[in-house]
């Protein structure tokens, strides 16, 4: 017969055994990394003797167990719910994580997970849900930390000293130049965000634009901007899916939408571009991508971008090859995205007092973790930013070299017109 | 009992029937095309009422039969052997052909043929045979129509008025800038032709180069050039296969070799690049490619480039993805290749009196057909010219934008140093 005391003591021993095992696993996971971790019982672990980039506190055993079982998902979950605290450089911490997992990927499990995710199409209905989740939360929130034009995609810094505002204008100008827009031409934009690029093209290049987006909040904002600028007759913002684009245009442009399309729908996107382009048409896709196929980060998929997938260049062939499109220029701007994220994260941190009034602390931590993690991913080469310019295969009218992309910008373009 | 006369007359009738059938097939093949064809018996056919771009004469029935059965192979065979004559614009004629077949491709037969060709590896031995076939025929011959630096790849025309000489220097400069070469760095070149780029890099960028090529004639010529320039200590030309490259370098560059590698060997090429590059390494591949996978033209494969294959960008992923290389810039220079070929064909035609002293008329016609056909293929978007710049995935040291590619060249670089 065991007494209550013996039962308790044997349970304690089992837990002690579990603790020892967890600590050993954790120590091996951080081996060589410049960080230290304090556990709920005061246990301290150190990865290396170098100066640490972050002090981590894990507040309970269950959280540590979850993190060890699935770090990709549960490090983020633990931090954002406050069951784990991080003091120090969050970007550097993400960088360490990326470097460690990058060498392990792709694993058999990541390959399987990717295959399964690839099969899941973002139907019209599901796409709306995905976009609502991220983009419709509040224009005021985005206004607190984006630039004045509300551009929520990688900026282009002509010099590394450029401000975020200058860099977002330079990005729009860079895209217009790559497309060699001419006055009077027609443009369709798929996934137009808050409308900045469409407005810029109409104002500075004299083109007529039809822009599509399924985010209700963004389209309302963009329509209002067109009214204020007095160019609603030349820029039409339509709350609809890219698959419903009708008509034929000289130019197809899409900035930061392909990540949300999902691989299963690339043939449909390709068919849409083909259908929408005149025989002498050309286009540009700007998107987050990868060097090799990996499933999207599990935490990002759950908390930030459901249904999203950053493709390799090879995978985008499903868009271009069936229609014999000719790829004429690809530029990788990953370090520009890292820099964009430095600005966003700085502004976000400055705005946290206001953001806390709009949302709860978990929201603040979620967005901080996402912005810092993204910055680290672009910095460490875990994510890429591709701008792909393409034409119909027989189009011979593009500028002879790319030198025109690098001519000085007229000062007028650096001021907002409206 | 049939008399000899009846036999003869029934044979004649069968031939007449065959003739009528052949003529009908030919007429339908050229329907709508601005060309006319005269047959051995004086029959004249016209594709359209537009002004013709070429008058074609087919000298016998067997030749017509072969052309109709396999035009891709036998139009070239008939022209080069003199069983068919072409008066008029050979480039425009090729263009018509490309436009007609482009819409038909890919066919089930072309897919099958491509699959079979993809399986055939260019072994070390076979690669030597392929290269000998084209590049070892005579340095003097190439000297008659290439530029003074003997560059036998797509030039880069900063303006369309540039001379071929200027454009070949500009191409070498463009590549050096894309690679952001720094004095003291080490470069390996795979497939170095007559050595112009290696010499240029050493002379103008202060780097040390090891250059590989399996063409004996080209390597001998290149070694002689290095001796004349007095830089044999900094540029080493080695008669060996790219697969035998040993050592580690800052930069891997290959201009016009990938077309000869063949798809089956892309993983091996990727492994070679990975093995040859330092942890902070970077590289550039310059190659003829396609918008979508097609087998190489059958006549070109038989008469010009055995074992060659121009890949799509997607297909080159077998080189980059396994090693996590990051593609940072792709430029499509197909119209620059069309212009390069305008120069080459002009110079070739001027040099035909000398070429006829070195080779026979069939040789002259073969090369004319090949140069004109290539020009048409680049012009009509049937072939592309890709320059792909890549780095190790964690390399963050490249210039911030591509603006440095478009700064004016110092005049000193436009003169040959030796």
Nearest to B94 by CA among B103, B84, B86: B86
Residue contact B324–A102, C-beta within 8 A: yes
Nearest to B291 among A325, A334, A400 (CB): A325
Distance (Å, whole) CA B329 – CA B317: 14
Which residues does chain B have within 8 Å of residue A403's beta carbon, measured at their own beta carbons? 158, 406
Give the nearest chain B residue to A106 (CA atoms).
Answer: B322
Question: Dihedrals φ, ψ of B3, to 5°?
Answer: -80, 165
Residue B332 host element (H or E) = strand B326-332
Token output for A348: 């976000």
Mean pLDDT of chain A: 92
Distance (Å, whole) CA A257 – CA A31: 39
Which residues does chain B have within 8 Å of residue A320's beta carbon, measured at their own beta carbons? 291
Residue B385 clears pLDDT 90, i.e. is over it: yes
Token output for B121: 């590896």
Residue contact B332–A326, C-beta within 8 A: yes
Confidence at residue A181, expressed as pLDDT on a 0 to 100 scale: 97
Residue A375 clears pLDDT 60, i.e. is over it: yes
Mean pLDDT over B49-62 rounds to: 95
Nearest to A291 among B293, B321, B400 (CB): B321
Mean pLDDT over A400-404 rounds to: 96
Which residues does chain B have within 8 Å of residue A158's beta carbon, measured at their own beta carbons? 401, 403
Q: Can you list the positions of beta strands (E) in A39-95?
A: 44-46, 54-58, 84-88
Question: Dihedrals φ, ψ of B57, to 5°?
Answer: -120, 125
CA of A324 vs chain B CAs: smallest distance (Å):
6
| Residue range A277-317, pLDDT digits in tens | 999 899 999 999 999 998 888 899 888 888 889 999 999 99
Residues facing B326 on adjacent strands? B391
Confidence at residue B3, expressed as pLDDT on a 0 to 100 scale: 65
Distance (Å, whole) CA A258 – CA A268: 12
| Residue range B59-117, pLDDT digits in tens | 999 999 999 999 989 999 999 999 999 999 999 999 998 888 766 777 888 888 888 88
In which order are the strands placed within the sheet that holds A84-88?
A44-46, A35-38, A54-58, A84-88
pTM as predicted:
0.94
Q: Is A48 left (phi over 0), alpha (psi -120 to 50) or beta?
A: beta
Nearest to B402 among A157, A331, A395 (CB): A331
Residue B132 clears pLDDT 80, i.e. is over it: no
Nearest to A300 by CA among A383, A191, A380: A383
Counting other chains too, the contacts that B38-47 makes at CB distance below 8 Å and 24 or more residues apart are B39/B64
Confidence at residue B191, expressed as pLDDT on a 0 to 100 scale: 96
CA of A250 vs chain B CAs: smallest distance (Å):
19
Residue A40's contacts (CB-CB under 8 Å, 6 or more residues apart) are A58, A59, A60, A61
| Residue range B165-198, pLDDT digits in tens | 999 999 999 999 999 999 999 999 999 999 999 9
ipTM of the shown complex: 0.93
Residue contact B313–A312, C-beta within 8 A: no
**How many Cβ pairs within 8 Å bridge chains A and B?**
117
Spatial contact of A178 and A387, defined as CB atoms under 8 Å apart:
yes
Which residues does chain A have within 8 Å of residue B103's beta carbon, measured at their own beta carbons? none
CA of B327 vs chain A CAs: smallest distance (Å):
7
Site of tokens 């119209």: B335
CA of A407 vs chain B CAs: smallest distance (Å):
9
| Residue range B276-317, pLDDT digits in tens | 999 989 999 999 999 999 888 889 988 888 888 999 999 999
Mean pLDDT over A360-376 rounds to: 96
Site of tokens 């039409």: A236
Spatial contact of A72 and A299, defined as CB atoms under 8 Å apart:
yes
- Give the class (CATH, top level) of B118-414: alpha beta
Q: Exposed, middle or buried, B264 (CB in 10 Å: 0-12/13-18/19+)?
A: middle
| Residue range A42-91, pLDDT digits in tens | 999 999 999 999 999 999 999 999 999 999 899 999 999 999 999 999 99
Q: Comparing A352 with B128, which gets the higher pLDDT? A: A352
Nearest to A291 among B102, B329, B393 (CB): B393
pLDDT band, residue A134 (cuts 50/70/90) = confident
> If interface means Cβ-Cβ distance under 8 Å, which residues of chain B face chain A?
102, 156-160, 291-293, 312-314, 317, 320-322, 324-332, 334-335, 379-382, 384, 392-396, 400-403, 405-406
- A123-414 under CATH 3.40.50.150, yes or no: yes
| Residue range A204-215, pLDDT digits in tens | 999 999 999 999
Mean pLDDT over B33-46 rounds to: 95
Site of tokens 């080189």: B319
Handedness of CA B49, B53, B59, B65 (dihedral sign): negative
């Amino acid at each position: 017969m065991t007494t209550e005391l013996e039962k308790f003591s044997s349970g304690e021993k089992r837990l002690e055994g579990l603790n020892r095992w967890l600590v050993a696993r954790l120590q091996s996971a951080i081996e060589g990394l410049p960080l230290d971790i304090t556990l709920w019982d005061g246990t301290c672990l150190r990865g290396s003797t170098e100066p640490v980039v972050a002090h981590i506190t894990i507040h309970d055993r269950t959280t540590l167990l979850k993190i060890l079982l699935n770090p990709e998902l549960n490090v983020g979950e633990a931090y954002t719910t406050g069951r784990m605290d991080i003091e120090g450089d969050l970007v550097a911490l993400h960088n360490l994580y990326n470097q460690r997992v990058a060498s392990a990927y792709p694993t058999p499990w990541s390959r399987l997970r990717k295959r399964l995710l690839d099969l899941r199409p973002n139907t019209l209905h599901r796409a709306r849900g995905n976009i609502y989740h991220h983009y419709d939360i509040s224009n005021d929130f985005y206004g607190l930390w984006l630039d004045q034009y509300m551009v929520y995609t990688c900026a282009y810094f002509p010099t590394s000293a450029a401000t975020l505002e200058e860099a977002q204008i330079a990005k729009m100008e860079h895209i217009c130049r790559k497309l060699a827009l001419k006055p009077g031409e027609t443009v369709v934009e798929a996934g137009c965000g808050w409308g900045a690029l469409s407005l810029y093209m109409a104002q500075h290049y004299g083109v007529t634009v039809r822009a599509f987006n399924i985010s209700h909040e963004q389209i309302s904002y963009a329509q209002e901007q067109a009214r204020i600028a007095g160019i609603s007759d030349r820029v039409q913002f339509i709350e609809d899916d890219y698959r419903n684009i009708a008509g034929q245009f000289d130019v197809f442009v899409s900035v930061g939408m392909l990540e949300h399309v999902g691989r299963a729908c690339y043939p449909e996107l390709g068919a849409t571009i083909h259908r929408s382009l005149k025989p002498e048409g050309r286009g540009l896709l700007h998107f987050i991508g990868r060097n090799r196929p990996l499933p999207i980060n599990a935490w990002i998929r759950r908390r930030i971008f459901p249904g999203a997938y950053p493709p390799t260049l090879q995978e985008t062939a499903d868009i271009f090859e069936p229609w014999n499109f000719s790829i004429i220029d690809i530029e990788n701007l990953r370090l520009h995205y890292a820099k964009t994220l430095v600005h966003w994260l700085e502004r976000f941190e400055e705005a946290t007092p206001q953001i806390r009034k709009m949302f709860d602390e978990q929201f603040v931590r979620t967005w901080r973790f996402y912005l810092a993690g993204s910055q680290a991913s672009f910095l460490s080469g875990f994510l890429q930013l591709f701008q792909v310019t393409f034409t119909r295969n027989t189009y011979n009218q593009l500028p002879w070299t790319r030198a025109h992309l690098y001519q000085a910008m007229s000062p007028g373009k650096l001021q907002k017109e409206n």
